[in-house]
Amino acid sequence: MDYIFEYLLNNYSHLKNNSKIVVAEIGIGFYVEISKKMQKSGFNVIAIDSNEKAVIEAFQHGLNSKMDDIFKPDLKIYKNIKLIYSIRPPRDLQPYLLNLSKNINCDLVIKPLSGEEPISELKLVNYFGKPLYIWKK
C-alpha cells in the first residue's frame, strides 16, 4: 500500500510545507498509516470519514479529522483542499469522489480495490505495476 504514498509524494511534492494547502484522505476508516506518512512528510492532511469512530481514531493518531458524508458533502470542510485521495473506496463511491473533486477544483487519486474497473472519467495509471485511478483538474 506504500505505493500510493510514494506516488503522492513524487507527484504532489509542491503541496508540501504550506499550511494553507490541504490534502484530504476521504474514507480513512481505521487505516491511518498513509495519512500519518503524508503528515510526517510535510503535507497538511485532513482525514475524513462518515464513521465517527474512525474520525476519533484518526484524531487520536494525531491527524486533523472530520466527519462528513460524501453523498452530501459539507463543502466548508473542503476549503483549501488541492488534492483528494482515497484508498480502496467501493466503486459506487467513486462518482461522488469525482464530483467533489470537480466541485472544489482539485485532483483526485484513488487506490482501487483489487481487480476493479475505474469509472469512465478516471484515468487508469500503472504506477510501477500497481493500479491507480487519477483525475486531474
Amino acid at 11: N
Domain span including residue 59: 2-9+21-135
The answer to whether residue 15 is domain-embedded is: no
Q: How many domains does the chain have?
A: 1
Residue 14: inside a domain: no
Residue 83 belongs to a domain: yes
CATH code assigned at 76: 3.40.50.150
The pTM of the whole model exceeds 0.75: yes
pLDDT tens digit string along 103-127? 999 999 999 988 788 888 999 999 9
Which stretches of the chain drop beneath a pLDDT of 70? 1
For strands 130-135 and 64-67, give the pairing.
unpaired
Name 87's bridge partners.
Answer: 111
